[in-house]
Amino acid sequence: MSSEGGATGYIVHHLTPLSVGEGFWALHLDTLFFSAVLGTAFILFFKNAAEKATTGVPGLTQNIAEMLIEFVDQQVKDTFHGKSKLIAPLGLTIFCWVLLWNAMDVIPVDLLGLIGSVMGIEYLRVVPSTDLNATFALSISVFILIIFYSIKIKGVFGFAKELTCTPFGPWMMPFNLLLKIVEEVAKPISLALRLFGNLYAGELIFILIALLPAFIQPLLSFPWAIFHLLIIVLQAFIFMVLTIVYLSMAHEDH
Amino acid sequence: MSINATLIGQMITFTLLVWFTMKYVWPPLIEALEERKQKISEGLAAAEKGQEDVKLAEKRAIKYLKEAKAESANIIALAQKRANDVVAESKQTAKVEGEKLIEAAKAQISQEIQQAKESLRKEVSSLALKAAEQILQEEVDKAKHKELINKVSEQL
């Protein structure tokens, strides 16, 4: 498959994104393209369900949409006790989008790459969640919302007080501030790296399996794919739940 | 593996997706869910009420049945009593009528006896008169002896 040849070349090829531009302004076209396509699919599916929503007997589309919505709604109700029009739809979007990203992982590693190379695209990395940009985009957005709601609910002064005067009282102000900053910054970083790490490792193992002789591959890729199904849903779920938890923490006034 | 402008592009996409979900996806679906929940609970309540109504109606039906039975028994008893009364009355009437008839017959009989007696007396008196005429062989002066004859005939 690789133009460079050898196992290392194959792996590097698979993990290199299709990018344009240099330095910071480079764009990973594959990440942007696939996440946009998956996001559109998500939106169209749910829009379709919402338009046909009936209080009577629901169809298949509505059933699936309602199942997901009730699931997310239940999670939000369990952890978040305030009232917010944003959190539940945010949770739903994160869950479905990340789930679809991750689900790209079970598509055979060489299939889309092969199609891409036929179309003249040299590099193609199809799983958006193996791109740090994608996972950080989500977690930084969540982080901005955390800061926004902290200030909105507690006020600038209240939020500043929480940053400086907890957990050790006003006399330990610099230490408190340092602790709080670490605590807050750890949230988006852990969110993004957890998702990225799980999916990147999963993809890497699929690539390694693909390097093995053809007769062994199914023996390994089949159980790994089954195990990976769990990771796909679990990571999407964790991302959503932690987002809800962080945001409800931001809403709590101490 | 570097962080670059893709991040910004992804954030914009994410914002759009969240906005769209918040505006067009979540509200109608959650509304449909709530409405259906309401409908179902209403339906269940209605079913329960219906069952209670049926129970009440059954009770009422049993009550009406009992009442009807009691009334019919009453009516039957009344009718029987009335029938007894009618029979007794007609018996009484018949008795009275019979007595009347007997009375009338008796009266007639006595009247006839009287008449027979009268006619017998008259015949006897005429016979006696004839016998006396023959015995005396002479014409009796009817006017002269009328008083005597009458006396005799009255004594007979």
Give the integer Cα–Cα distance in Å for B147 and A99: 161
Q: Which of A129, A176, A198, A248 is labelled catalytic?
A: A198
Would you state the pLDDT for residue A1?
40
pLDDT band at A92 (very low <50, low <70, confident <90, very high): very high
pLDDT tens digit string along B6-24? 888 889 999 999 999 999 9
Q: Is A63 a catalytic residue?
A: no
Is A53's CB within 8 Å of B32's CB? yes
Give the integer Cα–Cα distance in Å for A46 and A24: 35
pLDDT tens digit string along A7-19? 788 888 888 888 8
Residue A24: name the closest of B13, B14, B6 by CA. Answer: B6
Is B21's CB within 8 Å of A89's CB? yes
Q: Which residues of A touch B32 (CB under 8 A)?
A: 53-55, 58, 62, 66
Question: A105 near A232, Cβ under 8 Å?
Answer: yes
Strand partners, A19: A28
Q: Is the pLDDT of residue A193 over 50?
A: yes
Q: Is the pLDDT of residue A211 over 80?
A: yes
Per-residue pLDDT of chain B (156 residues; tens, 9 = 90+): 578 888 888 899 999 999 999 999 899 888 888 888 899 999 999 999 999 999 999 999 999 999 999 999 999 999 999 999 999 999 999 999 999 999 999 999 999 999 999 998 888 888 888 887 787 766 656 666 777 777 777 776
Q: Is A19 a catalytic residue?
A: no
Residue-range domain boundaries for chain A: 6-251
Give the integer Cα–Cα distance in Å for A123 and A108: 16
| Residue among A53, A69, A141 minimizing CB distance to B14 | A141
Question: A72 near A92, Cβ under 8 Å?
Answer: yes
Q: What pTM was computed for the model?
A: 0.72
Would you state the pLDDT for residue A4?
46
- The chain A residue lying nearest B11, using CA atoms, is A137
Given CB atoms, is B115 within the 8 Å cutoff of chain A?
no
Token duo for residue A165: 């005067």
Shortest alpha-carbon distance between residue B3 and chain A (Å): 6
Kind and range of the H or E element at B55?
helix B26-136
Peptide bond into A167 cis (omega under 30): yes
- Sign for the pseudo-dihedral over CA of B22, B26, B31, B34: negative
Token duo for residue A157: 């002064």
Kind and range of the H or E element at B105?
helix B26-136
Indicate the residue type of A207: I
Indicate the residue type of A146: I
Alpha helices in chain A (DSSP H): 6-15, 29-51, 60-79, 87-103, 111-118, 132-165, 173-211, 217-251
% of chain A at pLDDT higher than 70: 97
| Residue among B2, B22, B36 minimizing CB distance to A55 | B36
pLDDT band at A5 (very low <50, low <70, confident <90, very high): low
Would you state the pLDDT for residue B41?
94
Residue A88: name the closest of A254, A250, A240 by CA. Answer: A240
Would you state the pLDDT for residue A56?
77
Shortest alpha-carbon distance between residue A70 and chain B (Å): 8
Strand partners, A20: A27
Q: Is the pLDDT of residue A184 over 60?
A: yes
Interface ipTM: 0.83
DSSP SS3 for A86: coil
pLDDT tens digit string along A23-60? 778 888 888 889 999 999 999 999 888 888 777 788 88
Question: How high is the mean pLDDT of chain A?
Answer: 87
pLDDT band at A158 (very low <50, low <70, confident <90, very high): confident
- The chain B residue lying nearest A44, using CA atoms, is B25
Residue B15: name the closest of A72, A35, A237, A33 by CA. Answer: A35
Is A27's CB within 8 Å of B4's CB? yes
pLDDT band at A81 (very low <50, low <70, confident <90, very high): confident
Shortest alpha-carbon distance between residue B46 and chain A (Å): 17
Q: Is the pLDDT of residue A135 over 70?
A: yes
Give the integer Cα–Cα distance in Å for B99 and B106: 10
Q: By mean pLDDT, which of A105-109, A233-237, B11-15 is the weakest?
A: A105-109
Shortest alpha-carbon distance between residue A94 and chain B (Å): 8
Would you state the pLDDT for residue B5?
85
% of chain A at pLDDT higher than 90: 37
Give the integer Cα–Cα distance in Å for A88 and A243: 10
Is B4's CB within 8 Å of A28's CB? yes
Question: A228 near A106, Cβ under 8 Å?
Answer: yes
DSSP SS3 for A19: strand
The CA-CA-CA angle for residues B12, B18, B24, to 5°, reads 130
Q: Which residues of A touch B42 (CB under 8 A)?
A: none
Q: Which residues of B touch A199 (CB under 8 A)?
A: none
